[in-house]
A and B are shown apart, each in its own frame.
Chain A
Amino acid sequence: MAGKTYEEINAKIRRGEAVVVTANEVIDIARDIGVKKAAEKIDVVTTGTFGIMCSSGAFLNFWHTKPKMKMQHIWLDDVPAYGGVAAVDCYLGATELPAGDPGNAHYPGHFRHGGGHVIEALVAGRPVHLRADAYGTDCYPRRSYEQTLTLADIRQAFLFSPRNCYQNYNVATNCSDRTVYTYMGVLKPHMGNVHYSSAGQLSPLLNDPYYRTIGIGTHIFLGGGEGFVAWPGTQHAPDDPRNARGIPLGGAGTLAVIGDLKQMDARFVRGVSLTGYGVSLMIGIGIPIPILDEEALYYTTVTDVEISAPLCDYGPDGYPTGEPCTLGYVTMAELKSGEIEFEGRRIRTAPLSSYSKAVEIAETLKGWIAAGRFTLGQPSRLLPTDEKFSGGCA
C-alpha cells in the first residue's frame, strides 16, 4: 500500500472521517481482514496506560506578590517544592514527602501524603496551602508569604515528567523469608505473590516498539488533558534485548512528557501511598499511533501472549543489591490471568496499574480523534532507537 502522511490523516480527522480503533480492537480486525487491508482502512490506533509513574512532577508559577519576593523555600500543604528556579517558579516532585514525615521510622511507614497528593489536589481544584520564605533582596524584599490557593489562582501550572510511560517493566516477587515493602507493592515472602505494572497490548510504547511514530512533539492524552512528548525520558534504554516481535524484554523506552495541569482530570492524576516505600503519582497516558503504513499497523497488533517481562526478585538479595535479579520471563497473558506458573509452583499475580482505566483512556482518545477535536502531532525528532543509555536493572 502507498503510505499515508500525517497531513493526510489529520485532514481526515478534521473532516470527521478518520477511522480510529483502539489497540485492543485492531487485533481482531487484523485477524479478520489481514494486516494489509486493516492498514488501508484504519488511520489511527489508540493506546493507553494508567499506572504509578515515579519521576513525575509539575512546574508552577505563583506570579508576584506585593511587595515582590524571591521565594527560597516553598511548601505546598507542607510538601517542599524546589524553588531554586527563579523568584516565583517552583518544581513540585511527585515523590517528595512533607517536612517531618517519619519515613520508615515506624516500619513500614504509611506515607499518607506527599507531592503526588498535592498534584492531585491541585488538579481536583481543592485548596492547597502555599508557604514560602526568603532572605530578601533589594529587588525582592519580601521574606515570607502564606496563602491558600487553588489551581485557578496559579498563573501557570504544567506537568513535566522526566520519565513516564515505561515501554515494559519488571515483574516483582520476593524470594526472601520476610515481607518486603517496595515501590512494586507489598511482596510476601517465599514468592507469595507477584506484582506487575503494564497495560500489555494496550501499552503505548509496546504498540510502536521501534518508535517509528513517537518522538518529540507527539500529541498525547496526558492525565485527562492534552499533552506532548517532550524528549526521550530519563533512563531511555532502547537497546534492551528484544523478542522476534520487537518487544523489549526489559524496561527499554521511556518518555519525558509535558502537559497543562489546568486541563487535567483528577480521575487520571492520583497521588498514591505505597506502604513502606513512599508517595508517588498515578497518571494516565494515551498515545495515538498513526497508521502510516502496513508496518505501523503490524506492530499495533501485538497481543499479551507476545509480551514478556522479567520476573525479578525484590527481596534483600535481589533488586536492592544492584546485581542481576531476573529469575525468568513471564508473559503478560499469564500475568493477567491472575496466576503464573514458575518452577512448578502457581503464584498469584496482581497488577499495580489499572487495565480498565487504560481501556478507558484508549477509548477516550479514540473518541476525541473520531470527533475531530484531537489531531496528530508529527514528531520533529523520533525517539532514539540505538543509543546506549544507562544499563542495569530497570
Chain B
Amino acid sequence: MADTITKSVSLRYSPELVDAPIIYHLVRDYHLIPNIIRASISPNKEGYTLLSLTGAEEDFRKAIVYLQGLNMVVEQLADKVSWDELRCTQCGACTAVCPSGALSVQRPEMTIRFDGTKCVVCHMCIEACPVDAVKLDF
C-alpha cells in the first residue's frame, strides 16, 4: 500500500443529509478508513463533520466527488501543519486535544515533540495553542 494517503476534510451539509450513511459508503465503496475528529449534528441544523480519511489516492479522489455529488460542502484541509519549535513554550496544552499523538509530551523531561507523519491535520492544536506555535502550511 505504497500509495496510501491520509487527508483531512471538513464536511458541511444540510439537515436532510444528517441521517445519510456516508461513513458506510466511504468504507464500503471507497475502501477508506475514516477517523471522525469532530462532528456536530443536531436535528434541523446544518451538520458539520471533520474527519481524516486514509486509503488509496484514487479512492480518496472519487470519494470527494461522491460527497460533492451529495451537495455537501467539502473542504480539504491544509496538507500539513508546521510546528515552530522556537515559538513553542513547551507547555503541552496541545497534547490533550491532539487525536493522533503527533504532538506528544516526552516523559520524564516533559518536553514536547511533533511528529509530522502522525499528524492528521485536524486543526485541534491550532485552537489549543496559546502562543501560535502551530500553523497551517499551505
Interface residues of A (CB under 8 A from B): 50-52, 108, 112, 185-186, 188, 193-195, 270-275, 282, 336-338, 348-357, 359
Contacts and interface: CB of A to CB of B under 8 A. Distances in A.
**Which of B107, B109, B110 has most A Cβ within 10 Å?**
B110
Contact of A354 (B90, B107, B128): B90
A274 B111 contact: no
Interface of B: 89-97, 105, 107, 109-112, 127-128, 130-132
A52 B130 contact: yes
A351 B97 contact: no
A350 B95 CA distance: 6
A186 B94 CA distance: 9
Given A108-B127, A348-B96, 16 more contacts: A52-B130, A185-B93, A185-B128, A186-B128, A282-B89, A282-B131, A349-B96, A350-B93, A350-B94, A350-B97, A350-B105, A351-B93, A352-B91, A354-B110, A355-B92, A356-B112
Contacts of B93: 185, 195, 350-352
B110 A355 contact: yes
B99 to A, nearest CB: 10
Nearest to B105: A338
Nearest to B124: A186
Contacts of A271: 131
Contact of B107 (A185, A188, A270, A338): A338
Given A271-B131, A351-B92, A357-B89, A186 B97 contact: yes
A51 to B, nearest CB: 8
22 contacts: A50-B89, A185-B96, A185-B128, A186-B127, A186-B128, A193-B97, A194-B96, A195-B93, A270-B131, A273-B131, A275-B128, A282-B131, A336-B107, A338-B105, A350-B92, A350-B105, A351-B105, A352-B93, A353-B91, A355-B110, A356-B90, A359-B109
B110 A273 contact: no
A293 to B, nearest CB: 31
**Which of B93, B97, B128, B132 has most A Cβ within 10 Å?**
B93
A275 to B, nearest CB: 5
Contacts of A51: 91
A356 B106 CA distance: 10
A25 B132 CA distance: 33
**Which of A186, A349, A356 has most B Cβ within 10 Å?**
A356
Contacts of B95: 338, 350
A353 B90 CA distance: 8
Nearest to B98: A350
B41 to A, nearest CB: 14
A346 to B, nearest CB: 13
A357 B111 CA distance: 9
A50 B131 CA distance: 14
A337 B96 CA distance: 12
Contacts of B112: 356
